[in-house]
Structure 1
Amino acid sequence: MLRLSRSILGFENLKVRMMSSITESFQTAQQRLKHLKDEPDNTTKLKLYSLFKQSTVGRVNSKRPGMLDMVGRAKWDSWNSLGDMTQGEAMQEYVKLVNELSGSNSTTEETTNNSGNLEGYPGLKIERRGKLRIICFDKPKKKNAIDTQMYRDIVSALSVAAKDPETSITVFTGTGDYFSSGNDLSNFANIEGTIKEAAENAGHLLRDFVGAFIDFPKPLIAMVNGPAVGISVTLLGLFDAVYASDKATFQTPFSALGQTPEACSSLTFPNIMGLAKAGEVLFFNKKLTAKEAKDRGLVTEIFPDASFRSETLPLVEKFSQLPVNSLVYSKELVRSQLNDRLHKINQQECDRLVERWQSADCIEAIMNFFSSKAKI
């Protein structure tokens, strides 16, 4: 009985966090809507209006406008058509629609402000220094956790970098103290439809996200400025060089969250570290220091934290001056024989995670995580 009560309380706490996360996504979507390249058509505008009203007010609470107010009647009819849809469901539909519009309105053209930062992706800061492109996780208040939209935007940013003839090397780093705390677990609160549907959609997203790194044709360098967790660690096996601050740490707490390895780490980590050392990291949640990560082959070189950026940036800028085609062809020779196998492993890992995300032990582990965060 006590265990059942705790489970019920856990679900209630999770529901509260889900609603909070949905509200945050809803507010973010409102801002994204203001920056669309193309204006939505009238039918889409009506749908956005009705979902917004249902999200903020609830079901329609006014009389239908008169015959002469054609616009008002159209808005009322659209809102009324949502019936008893809950405010939470309406917020999710609103966010989904805005995300679809953002994707269809995307462009490979980039705008640059006076500081040199490329704009357009919430949670990411993108900068170009000559032929060097820097993609920076930019959510320091959330330890640079990667939310669902950031997964999509990173795929888009990599596509732009791959096609840009003026980009020779792409770097990933983080703003603030963290490189990245990995997957934003509030993603589990922003589920749409059934758990099965949400798990399958997340699996497709993860497969495409990792696939973008597998297929990226130019050198990828990670400048790990601080702690790295989860997918921000496993991805490093797909990078061509990894430079770390001496304060960086590396941890993949998959089993603690009822999950399994991703980003091809079930193949790359044993190849890099050996089976026993990889097992320590992937199975038993061992946190590596920068030195341990270097000793195991995951990190290329370590730099003092106090001078990390000032030492690593000139180094990678120097590399970026090398002939682009030479870099591309060299990487193709080194990596192309592995790519088919990596894609196969990526699919297998995603299939397993889709199963894990629907399992009772994974759901309970995530609930426990949210409960422990609430106590802090």
Structure 2
Amino acid sequence: MTGLRVERNGAVAVLTLDRPQAANAIDVTLARALMEAAIRCDEDPGVRCVLLTGSGRFFCAGGDVGSFGDAGERLPALLKEITAYLHAAIARLARMDKPLVTAVNGPAAGAGIGLALLGDIALADPTAHFTLAYTAIGMSPDGGTSWLLPRLIGLRRAQELCLRNTRVGADEAATIGMVTRVTAPDALATESIALAHALVASATSAIGATRRLLLDAQTTPFEAHLDAEARSIATQARTAEGREGIAAYLAKRKPDFPNASIPGAR
């Protein structure tokens, strides 16, 4: 058992953290499976959107603290192994061309918050809540949480959440920008897969370029970012999806991005 369920729903790859008996906590096996799945999603041209969610009552409780205790003196080495796989998975999910939707079906803590925040669009069930919890067990953040959180909610709020381990409910998380929005009760699964399929119809190459620009914007000097934008939009003009988008606009029809790259489709 890898602790990760990978399914296809048309052009959507659905990744489900599947250790409900352990609150979907991340151990070495799950971290490795997530990395392998992220690479497959990135490389598979048939996948045009990725949806990440959890099974059972929790989204993800973060690292598997039980395994931390069992590791004894090996704990530093174990943490390096887990983060090697987990961070590779997160980097691939962040940098792939395909959009990422996160469906936060319940409580998230630690690295689970990093996974939740990673979505381009993050939907939350009303029962979801978020607690960093690292310093409560004498640890510091991983899973991209200390990078993503201040960029989404501001440094001041991030400092308090990280240092005091304040619990943030779903509605507050949406208000301060941790998640995109909260769904109606029992509507998360339906709304998230519908959203993923809507994104499937978009121009994947343009989404990938936009994701990269947004990801780099906070750390790239303004003039360098302007150059990156210029190069990116010129590159998009060379793509089949770029040509299809312009042609559809001029013909006053809906673009067919999914088939634009298939020879002979038009």
User: Which residue of 34, 38, 48 maps to 1:168?
Assistant: 48
For 2:10 and 2:85, locate their aligned partners in 1 and report how far apart those are by CA, in whole Å.
31
Tell me how far 1:145 sits from its aligned partner: 1.5
> Structure 1's 336 and 291: CA in aligned 2 closer, same or farther, altered over 3 A?
same
CA-to-partner distance for each residue in 1:178-222, whole Å, 9 max, x for gaps? Answer: 111121113314539855544544454454344334433321110
Shift of 1:244: 0.5
Deviation at 1:142, TM superposition (A): 1.6
Give the one of 165, 173, 177 matched to 1:293.
Answer: 173
Q: Tell whether the 8 Å contact from 2:35 to 2:86 is kept in structure 1 after alignment.
A: no
- Does the aligned pair in 1 maintain the 2:97–2:204 contact within 8 Å? no
Q: Does 2:124 match 1:244?
A: yes
* 1:274 and 2:167 correspond: no
Match of 1:332 in 2: 212
Alignment CA distance shift 1:137-1:202 (3 Å): closer
Name the counterpart of 1:60: none
Residues 233 and 252 of structure 1 are in contact (CA less than 8 Å); yes or no, is this contact kept in structure 2? Answer: yes
Measured on the aligned residues, the alpha-carbon RMSD in Å equals 2.3
- Whichever residue aligns with residue 288 of structure 1, its letter is V
Q: 2:201 — aligned with what?
A: 321
Q: CA deviation at 1:240?
A: 0.9
Stretches of structure 2 that go unaligned for 5 or more consecutive residues are 221-266
User: Which of the numbers 122, 127, 130 marks the counterpart of 2:7?
Assistant: 127
Distance 2:195 2:91 in 1: 27
User: CA 1:192–1:319 in structure 2 vs 1: closer, same or farther (change >3 Å)?
Assistant: same
TM-score where L is the length of structure 1: 0.54
Point out the structure with max Rg over C-alpha: 1
Q: Alignment partner for residue 158 of structure 1, among 22, 38, 44? A: 38
> Which of 134, 139, 146 is the aligned partner of 1:259?
139
Spell out the pairing of 1:4-43 with structure 2 (5 A cutoff).
none
SS of 1:283's equivalent? Answer: helix
Cα 1:321–1:277 shift into 2, 3 Å: same
Supply the distance in 2 between the matched residues of 1:237 and 1:323 (Cα, whole angstroms): 23
Q: How much does 1:311 deviate? A: 2.6
Structure 1 contact 158–212 (Cα < 8 Å) conserved? yes
Whether the 8 Å contact between 1:215 and 1:339 is mirrored in structure 2 is no
Unaligned ranges ≥5, structure 1 = 1-120, 341-376
Counterparts of 1:142 and 1:180, CA distance in 2: 9
From the superposition, tell whether residues 196 and 132 of structure 1 become closer, same or farther in structure 2 (CA, over 3 Å). closer
Alpha-carbon separation, structure 1, partners of 2:37 and 2:19: 17
- Give 1:302 shift: 0.8
Counterpart of 2:29? 149
Match status 1:188 vs 2:68: yes
2:101 pairs with one of 196, 221, 224:
221
C-alpha distance in structure 1 between counterparts of 2:99 and 2:105, whole Å: 19
Which residue in the other structure is 2:190 paired with?
Answer: 310
User: What TM-score, normalized by structure 2, do the two folds share?
Assistant: 0.74
Alpha carbons of structure 1 residues 305 and 288: separation in structure 2 relative to 1, 3 Å: same
Contact 2:105 2:125 in 1 (8 A): yes
In the TM superposition, residue 136 of structure 1 has moved relative to its aligned partner by 0.4
Q: CA deviation at 1:338?
A: 5.6
